[in-house]
Amino acid sequence: MLSFQYTDNKLIAFKKGNLYLNLHKKTLYRPLQYDGLSFPSFIFGISITIMKRLLIAFAFIFLFVTAVAQVKTPRQLFKDLFEAVQISDIFPDNKTFVDATPKRDPELIMKDYEEQKNKPGFDLMHFVYDNFSIPGPPQTIFKTDIKEGIRKHIDTLWKVLYRRHDTISKYSSLLPVPNDFIIPGGRFRETYYWDSYFTMLGLQQSNRTQIIRDMIGNFAYLLDKYGFIPNGTRTYYLTRSQPPFFSMMLDLLAKDDGEHVIVKYQPELLKEYAFWMRGSEGLKPGQAYRNSVRMHDGELLNRYWDESDQPREESYKKDVNAAKLTKQKLGDFYRNIRAAAESGWDFSTRWMDTTGKLETIRTTFIIPVDLNCLLYHLELSIAKSYQLQGNGPQYRVYLAKALARKKAILKYSWSAKDGWFMDYNWKERRFSPHKTLAGTYPLEFKIASAAQAAEVAGRLKADFLKPGGLVTTFERSGQQWDSPNAWAPLQYMAIEGLNQYGESGLARQIAERWITINLKVFNDTGKLMEKYNVVDTDAKAGGGEYPLQDGFGWTNGVLLNLLNRYHTDQQ
């Protein structure tokens, strides 16, 4: 809450959280917290002129903070009722309740709950069904005729996964957006950030450019309203983002609409960048703040982070139970869990120690190679937007940022010993012990040298390539972002990266194996899946926190893109 202090009807101070600005004494108080270091509150004197400028700057910050704070999540709205439902087994999937729509004012629901919960015969399930509209199972009306082929199936799926923007109930956890959109499918009933880029790859192939424009418009709206693009368009996702593909989306749209879209969305590109770089300017070597890390030699790189240190609302029971096994402080454990959710790789041994156990998760220690490649692209996109405007000085500023990041990625992520681009543990100052398919991102963004790309291609063929495509990691942990599972976005990024360095033969081989397993499962089930088992192509993918989902936005998008690119009709 933002509070003001007045004397004789004159504003003399205001306070937001732990930040206190005294206009009368011309002092600003703020405790600074960095990873591994705590600084006591400090005071410094500033002039009235600077004070006025600070007031304006802080006003913008507070508007952003207040905009997010005013949106209440299901846990904030329903408190004890939320916990009772999520800990119970009323719904096997905790996402069901947080996606349910209250039938009336939440305050009235809570009033009745408090009055009834301790009475004899109270039935929690009946109370929930009486007061909430529960989301049903994924749409089952759509029945495919396999004989009509995969392209017809995907074309129909766009209609099945299409959602109108103006159908949100007043009390829903859905975040309103101005345009219609495509959802992934299954239990995922809302827009997801990085999913959408790979979905757009297929929408473009289907000549559905308008829905791409609409979805980019939604993301721009979210950046303008909240200062970042949430993980998904739900209130309970407003503490984190996802891999920053917004600039990649603009590149995609520019193929149809021209490069002016990069200039059009320059303000939102800058807001995206500001979100990921918050607090980076004041960092000293070896310090981190939110998503930014100042490496020990002074370079700036980024990590995944979440503003909350509480269990995820959509996986509340699983997080609470998992926390019973960890040796970490509960807040640190929950933050690491949430940070992994921001990565999209929830979960993988990638974020864990050598045991690969979830209780050892330490996402905030990791400098992910893929995240920093995406931010390199974002910096280049901002530079290009200024170049297109003829703004040379700002073009050079962001180009310099991109080149500095490229140099840092090569320094901290390339392992000559492994012949692979690795994540880097900035706390322990060493490479992560896990090789993952994220190591192909430096090829997609032309960061790797020709020799490095050749080594990566060799490792891909020798170690990662399986009968159905590229496996995500080598560990069989039971987590869904580990072996034997494979995912459409990672296949696409690897294929694209290989083509950047003339490794077209291997790129085609990967594409054809991926297409083959997609079509095999489609011909067996009439469905396209969220992920695939590429080691044993006769078995389903599995692991993770929920059953295998079908739909599926990014699978459809990548598959159609590859089918058209490689002119493959194995159906």
Q: Which member of 346, 370, 423, 503 is catalytic?
A: 346
550: helix, coil or strand? strand
Could you give the CA distance from residue 398 to residue 381 in angstroms, rounded to a whole number?
A: 9
Closest CA to 276 of 399, 371, 386: 371
pLDDT in tens, 165-198: 988 888 999 999 999 999 999 999 999 999 999 9
Average pLDDT on 86-109 reads 97
pLDDT in tens, 222-280: 999 999 999 999 999 999 999 999 999 999 999 999 999 999 999 999 999 999 999 99
- Residue 289: in which H helix or E strand, if any? strand 288-289
Tokens of 194: 């990085």
Going by their DSSP bridges, the two strands 37-45 and 162-163 should be labelled as unpaired
**pLDDT score of 476 more than 90:** yes
How many domains are contained in the chain? 4
> Same domain, yes or no, for 459 and 515?
yes
**pLDDT score of 570 more than 80:** no
Tokens of 53: 């400028």
In-domain check, residue 397: no
> Same domain, yes or no, for 565 and 426?
yes
**pLDDT score of 489 more than 60:** yes
Per-residue pLDDT at 270: 98
> Same domain, yes or no, for 122 and 167?
no
Beta bridge partners of residue 37, listed in sequence order: 34
Closest CA to 361 of 391, 335, 397: 335
Q: Has 428 been annotated as catalytic? A: no
For residues 379 and 502, the answer to whether their CB atoms sit within 8 Å is: no
Average pLDDT on 96-110 reads 97
Closest CA to 348 of 551, 493, 549, 545: 545
The last residue of a domain, from among 259, 276, 293? 276
Could you give the CA distance from residue 402 to residue 26 in angstroms, rounded to a whole number?
A: 38
Q: What is the DSSP letter of 472?
A: S
Task: Give the phi and the psi of residue 53 in degrees, each rounded to 5.
Answer: -65, -40
Q: What is the DSSP letter of 561?
A: H
Alpha-helical segments (H) within 132-286: 150-160, 193-205, 209-226, 246-257, 260-264, 266-276
Per-residue pLDDT at 167: 82
For residues 14 and 21, the answer to whether their CB atoms sit within 8 Å is: yes
Per-residue pLDDT at 267: 98
pLDDT in tens, 400-427: 999 999 999 999 999 999 999 999 999 9
> Same domain, yes or no, for 34 and 111?
no
For residues 479 and 472, the answer to whether their CB atoms sit within 8 Å is: no
> Same domain, yes or no, for 427 and 544?
yes
pTM: 0.89
Residue numbers of the domain that contains 147: 143-276
In-domain check, residue 325: no
CB atoms within 10 A of CB 188: 21
In-domain check, residue 321: no
What's the angle, vertex CA 355, arms to CA 351 and CA 357, rounded to 5?
A: 60
> Same domain, yes or no, for 502 and 531?
yes
CATH number at residue 560: 1.50.10.10
pLDDT in tens, 312-324: 999 999 999 999 9
Q: Which member of 306, 342, 444, 530 is catalytic?
A: 530
Tokens of 234: 């739900």
> Same domain, yes or no, for 503 and 426?
yes
Query: What confidence tier does 199 reach under pLDDT thresholds 50, 70, 90?
Result: very high
Per-residue pLDDT at 142: 60
The last residue of a domain, from among 40, 69, 98? 69
> Same domain, yes or no, for 63 and 160?
no
Mean pLDDT of the chain: 90
Q: Is 338 left (phi over 0), alpha (psi -120 to 50) or beta?
A: alpha
The last residue of a domain, from among 231, 253, 276? 276
Per-residue pLDDT at 313: 98
Per-residue pLDDT at 438: 98
In-domain check, residue 198: yes
Per-residue pLDDT at 44: 39
Taking the C-alpha atoms of 456, 459, 461 and 463 in order, what is their torsion angle to the nearest 10 degrees?
-150
In-domain check, residue 454: yes
**pLDDT score of 28 more than 50:** no
Tokens of 536: 């044993």
What whole-number percentage of the chain has pLDDT above 90? 82
Average pLDDT on 343-368 reads 97
Alpha-helical segments (H) within 41-73: 48-69
Query: What confidence tier does 69 reach under pLDDT thresholds 50, 70, 90?
Result: low
Q: Has 545 been annotated as catalytic? A: no
CA distances from residue 374 to 89, 179, 248, 285, 443 in whole angstroms, order as listed: 40, 26, 8, 23, 12
Could you give the CA distance from residue 425 to residue 432 in angstroms, rounded to a whole number?
A: 6
234: helix, coil or strand? strand
**pLDDT score of 12 more than 60:** no
pLDDT in tens, 530-568: 999 999 999 999 888 888 888 899 999 999 999 999 986
> Same domain, yes or no, for 9 and 82?
no
For residues 565 and 511, the answer to whether their CB atoms sit within 8 Å is: yes
> Same domain, yes or no, for 53 and 85?
no
> Same domain, yes or no, for 153 and 267?
yes
Tokens of 241: 């983002």
Tokens of 126: 């009946």
For residues 190 and 183, the answer to whether their CB atoms sit within 8 Å is: yes
For residues 250 and 263, the answer to whether their CB atoms sit within 8 Å is: no
pLDDT in tens, 317-346: 999 999 999 999 999 999 999 999 999 999
- Secondary structure tally for the chain: helices H, strands E: 20, 21
